[in-house]
């Protein structure tokens, strides 16, 4: 049973960058794509992008394309999300999630990290 454990709370200044980690345990890491989803306070879920660790192939939501970098370290079964040029409206809980694209062609997120609160404030 895979578990996703994320790094802790961050407080950042506008214009700076943040890097959040997500460590997987209990299952094969490299073969599953991993995504990052954020949720601003009182708002819904927003997909930022994802990566397939075994190939390092990544894709990003158009909205975040210029500011987000998602990477993976197979040796430590860890995925990272770095968001640059932070603004106050980037204040949110950031989740990692494991993508499932099964043999029937269904797509969904079956496991989620606990979330990391990033606060952007001067």
| Residues contributing to the site for other proteins (CB under 8 A) | 35, 37, 44-47, 49-50, 59-62, 95, 97, 100, 104-110, 112-115
- Measured from the CB atom, the residue of 1 and 122 that comes closer to other proteins is 1
- 86: how many CB neighbours lie within 10 A of its CB? 21
Min CB(95)–other proteins separation in Å: 6
Q: How many CA atoms are closer than 13 Å to the CA of 106, on its beta-carbon side? A: 5
- Measured from the CB atom, the residue of 29 and 95 that comes closer to other proteins is 95
- 15: how many CB neighbours lie within 10 A of its CB? 11
Q: Distances from the Cα of 11 to the Cαs of 8, 15, 39, 87, 98, in angstroms?
A: 10, 12, 16, 12, 26
- Measured from the CB atom, the residue of 29 and 111 that comes closer to other proteins is 111
Min CB(3)–other proteins separation in Å: 12
Given a contact cutoff of 8 angstroms between Cβ atoms, the answer to whether 3 and 97 are in contact is no
Min CB(119)–other proteins separation in Å: 16
- Measured from the CB atom, the residue of 31 and 105 that comes closer to other proteins is 105
């Amino acid at each position: 049973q895979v578990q996703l454990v994320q790094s802790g709370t961050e407080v950042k200044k506008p214009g700076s960058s943040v890097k959040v980690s997500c460590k997987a345990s209990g299952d094969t890491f490299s073969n599953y794509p991993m995504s990052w989803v954020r949720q601003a306070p009182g708002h819904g879920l927003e997909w930022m992008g994802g990566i397939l660790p075994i190939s390092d192939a990544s894709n990003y939501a158009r909205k975040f394309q210029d500011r987000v970098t998602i990477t993976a370290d197979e040796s430590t079964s860890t995925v990272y999300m770095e968001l640059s040029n932070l603004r106050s409206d980037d204040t949110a809980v950031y989740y990692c999630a494991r993508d499932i694209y099964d043999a029937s062609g269904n797509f969904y997120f079956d496991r989620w990290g606990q979330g990391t609160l990033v606060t952007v404030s001067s």
